[in-house]
Amino acid sequence: MSVKRIGVLTSGGDAPGMNAAVRAVVRTCLYHGIEVYGIRRGWNGLIHGDIIKMDASSVSRTINRGGTILYTARSKEFMTEEGQKRAVSTCKFLGLDSIIAIGGDGTFRGARALSKYGINVVCIPGTIDNDISCTNYCIGFDTAANTAIECIDRLRDTMQSHERCSVVEVMGRNAGFLAMYVGLAVGATAVLVPEKEIDFEKDVIEKLRQARLHGFTHYMIIVAEGVGDANEIAQKIRDSIDLDPRVTVLGHIQRGGSPTGRDRVNATKMGYLAVELLRAGKNNRIVCTHDGLYTDVDIDEGLAMNKNIQQMEIDLLAAMTGYHN
> What secondary structure letter does DSSP report for 189?
S
Q: Kindly state the helix (H) or strand (E) to which residue 22 belongs, with its residue range.
A: helix 18-31
Whether residue 129 lies in the annotated active site? yes
- Burial (CB < 10 A; 0-12, 13-18, 19+), residue 106, is middle
226, 146 Cβ separation under 8 angstroms: no
For residue 47, give Cα distances in angstroms to 82, 89, 93, 103, 284: 10, 8, 12, 17, 20
CA–CA separation, 231 and 272 (whole Å): 43
Q: How many distinct helices (H) and strands (E) make up the chain?
A: 12, 11
Q: How far apart are CA 37 and CA 48, in angstroms?
A: 14
Closest CA to 232 of 144, 278, 167: 167
Residue 246's beta-bridge partner residues?
166
Catalytic residue among 14, 105, 129, 263: 129
Of 123, 298, 148, the closest CA to residue 224 belongs to: 148
Whether the CA torsion 120, 124, 125, 126 is positive or negative: it is negative
DSSP H or E segment with residue 311: helix 311-320
Q: Which residues are catalytic?
A: 129
